[in-house]
Amino acid sequence: MRRPVARKLSVLAVSAAVVSVGAAAPPQATSTPEKVPVAVGYGGAVSSVDADASAAGIEVLRKGGNAVDAAVATAAALGVTEPYSSGIGGGGYFVYYDAKSRTVHTIDGRETAPLTAGTDLFLENGKPLAFADAVSSGLSIGTPGTPATWATALGQWGSRPLGSVLKPAERIARDGFTVDDTFRSQTASNETRFRYFPDTAKLFLPGGQLPVVGSTFKNPDLARTYQQLGRKGVGAIYHGDLGDDIVDTVNNPPVDPSSGWKARPGDLSEKDLAAYRAKLQKPTKTSYRGLGVYSIAPSSSGGTTVGEALNILEHTDLSKASEVQYLHHYIEASRIAFADRGRWVGDPAFEDVPTKGLLSQKFADSRACLIKDDAVLTSPVAPGDPRHPGACTDRGTAAPTTYEGENTTHLTVADKWGNVVSYTLTIEQTGGSAITVPGRGFILNNELTDFSFAPANPAVHDPNLPGPGKRPRSSISPTIVLDRHNQPVVALGSPGGATIITTVLQVLTEFVDRGLPLVDAIAAPRASQRNAAQTELEPTLYSSGERSQLEAIGHSFKLNPEIGAATGVQRLPGGKWLAAAETVRRGGGSAQVVYPAP
């Protein structure tokens, strides 16, 4: 992890240096595009964490594809270059702006629990499993939703077939990409788990060693898998031999017997795969400063929680607030919104989620009055009741925020017609379950560990317990902001588990209220409060004068080396787009446009 940059930036387009480590000279590296954090131009834009992936999307746009085609191409490429954060073994949420109708649409591509799963999925002898024991097991693996998301998006709004948009990713998997510091460090942090599973170790620890920075990493198995998907469609997963291989892997995890690891089997079936559907659903909508903020509705909590926090902040003039007062109100709004998220949000197919109430200004006002300029709320804050909001009241028992893996990935795309995609996809934590499907080249998710293993308080209903075919609650928050004429202003999103919500909220308020350029709003040092006793701060804020001033009114902090890795696109006058990515986090992101402006 690298230290975040200072709050005010003068951004220059600089390429990321590639440093070789290890005694032996690395194999000849493939050509990798320059990584730059901001790009402005015409013909469309792509922003992701990876230069090869952004280039894959640009290639599709340059050949006449639209934003949806390019988003799928970029996502598929991230499955090659960011295999510990995304891939066809996982799921995600897709938000799409249609320029012709000026409307926003979404796809819930979240993974689902097996149809045999009950609330006791992660109980053993009546007690919750240790988190580490649950992660690297078949129990943690949900039915993948990413392939269905791609097929649904292309079928609804795309202009190219799946086989066509998979070609750039297939080529990268076959020919290889250049290993960077982030890929090596993420491999190193998972090395012990990867060695439990021979197929994972063979693929990601070539020759039994960590991949060398500057070397070329190839994944011919994944290239063949993409080729098969392009030929046969995603039915190869949900009704075919690829799906059979996934089921066998989940139910009989291919563990190395000498490792001593107890890889508990799952109970996924061909019936689970055949029953899976990516859901087309309405977005959440919040009005903020006269703008329309659109995001994903439950099963993710992202849209409702970011939306509620924005509503809480609506009547506070953050543009004129001091830096300390801005951070104070942002932190407190996050704290309250997370309290309500924990009580009310789950899979709406199983839970009565009061989405409309959570997003109502009346409910937000009933919660906003809890915030004082010179005092701090004590966490955990008890939830309010959006069905019966009462001024400055809370009802029920507070529940702590459950853990979510922090290494997801986000991409943002716009095309020359004005269509926009904000898409966050994931396999949950870094390295997912660590279980690779033999011969297929991709890791399976551990998304089911996003469920509560047991109720935090047995006396209070927990909307996020496992259930048959249920989708675990997520914090993913892909967001598109429209102006009064329903034209795009900005689109953004981030990885980071539960910190996704606070990252999106902070970037939005830095951009809309504080007037920072998009790339500076993304780069600004972050704080994350999730209804916990302490607020997490990145190093620049942790060592700042603002921290001591906030502590003086009652805030408590702990250090988090890195929070999120956002990307975004912004519509500019005259058909231009600005793409923005991280300058430093996760090695810096890659912003690209089809035709750069002079």
How many domains would you assign to the chain?
1
Contact 377, 392 (CB under 8 A): no
28 in any annotated domain: no
The per-residue DSSP string of 89-115 comes to: TSEEEEEEEETTTTEEEEEEE--B--T
pLDDT at 597 exceeding the cut of 50? yes
Alpha carbon 11 to chain centroid distance? Answer: 25
Residue 115: pLDDT band (50, 70, 90) is very high
pLDDT at 108 exceeding the cut of 80? yes
183 in any annotated domain: yes
pLDDT at 395 exceeding the cut of 80? no
Q: Tell me, what CATH number does 588's domain have?
A: 3.60.20.40
Q: What is the dihedral of CA 415, 107, 300, 443, to 10 degrees?
A: -90
Identity at 476, one-letter amino acid code: I
pLDDT of residue 355: 98
pTM of the shown model: 0.93
pLDDT of residue 567: 98
Average pLDDT value for residue range 354-372 = 97
pLDDT at 460 exceeding the cut of 90? no
Average pLDDT value for residue range 483-487 = 98
118 in any annotated domain: yes
pLDDT at 588 exceeding the cut of 50? yes
pLDDT at 391 exceeding the cut of 70? yes
Contact 405, 393 (CB under 8 A): no
Residue labelled with tokens 């982030």: 182
Q: Is 583 tagged catalytic?
A: no
pLDDT of residue 97: 98
Q: Which residues of 539-552 are buried (b: 16+ CB within 10 A; e: fewer)?
A: bbbbebebbebbee
**Candidate list 316, 355, 401, 408, residue with the active-site label:** 408
Q: Where in the sequence is the domain holding 541, given as residue range(s)?
A: 38-280+402-596
β-strands 535-537, 557-559 pairing: parallel
pLDDT at 561 exceeding the cut of 80? yes
23 in any annotated domain: no
Average pLDDT value for residue range 461-468 = 94
Say how far apart CA 252 and CA 516 lie, in whole Å. Answer: 51
pLDDT, one tens digit per residue, over 283-314 is: 999 999 999 999 999 999 999 999 999 999 99
368 in any annotated domain: no
pLDDT at 12 exceeding the cut of 70? no
375 in any annotated domain: no
Closest listed residue to residue 429, CA positions, set 193, 128, 109, 119: 193
137, burial (CB in 10 Å: exposed 0-12, middle 13-18, buried 19+): buried
Contact 420, 67 (CB under 8 A): yes
pLDDT of residue 31: 59
306 in any annotated domain: no
525 in any annotated domain: yes
Contact 24, 574 (CB under 8 A): no
pLDDT at 582 exceeding the cut of 80? yes
